[in-house]
Amino acid sequence: MKVFIDPPNSLILFDLVERFGNEPLSTMAALQERVDNLEIDMPPMNVTLDDVVKGLKYAGIEVPSGVRGRLSIWGPMIEAADAAIVVEDAPFEFGCVGCERSELMVKYLIKRSGKPALKLKYPEDEDEGKVFVQKVKEFLEGLQ
């Protein structure tokens, strides 16, 4: 099963989804295609102007170009996914991944697609960590 993860570059989610036998859809795979196939020589410009235009499929013209650029990468992954796991309230220190507007759009796209989604929060103590893993495991087992 293909599972979209949000934050899409999360180490924890990528590892857990893969560990429980599913394929995580992450930004890293999408960006690897760009890194290998295109010339990207001005860090951190991982998104090109064409991507921002492609993002119009997922967000209106009034939406900031940064959000559209992200959605041009995340949107196709949401379409390709069979399910999604979303960690809400990402800290602002996460950079572009912590963008609240992008997160709202991602959650909206997932809801609109009607695909099963699990919403979680980052654990803050050991019990929350246990519940976090338990929920992910049960959700992924339920997809089989």
Partner 1 sequence: MRETRLLMICPTSRLTPDVLAREIHATGKDVKIKETCYGCLIEGEREVVREVTAFAREIDHNAVFSKRRAYKAGDPVRCRAQHGTRPGFAQLESEWEALPLIKAGLDAADNGEKTEEKPGKKKLPAIRFKEICEVK
Residues that bind partner 1 (CB under 8 A): 7, 9-12, 14-16, 18-19, 26-32, 34-36, 40-41, 43-44, 46, 91, 93-98, 122-134, 137
Instruction: HSE, CB side, 13 Å, CA atoms: give it for residue 5.
Output: 24
Cα pseudo-dihedral 86, 88, 92, 98, rounded to 10: 30
Q: Which is nearer to partner 1, 59 or 87 (CB)?
A: 87
- State both tokens at 120: 């979680």
Q: How far is CA 85 from CA 4, 26, 72, in A?
A: 6, 11, 19
Estimate the crossing angle of helix 100-113 against helix 65-80, to 10 degrees: 30
CB of 62 to partner 1, least distance (A): 26
Q: Which is nearer to partner 1, 28 or 56 (CB)?
A: 28
CB of 3 to partner 1, least distance (A): 14
CB of 43 to partner 1, least distance (A): 5
Q: Which is nearer to partner 1, 33 or 108 (CB)?
A: 33
Distance between CA atoms of 97 and 86, rounded to whole angstroms?
12
CB of 108 to partner 1, least distance (A): 22
Q: Which is nearer to partner 1, 15 or 56 (CB)?
A: 15
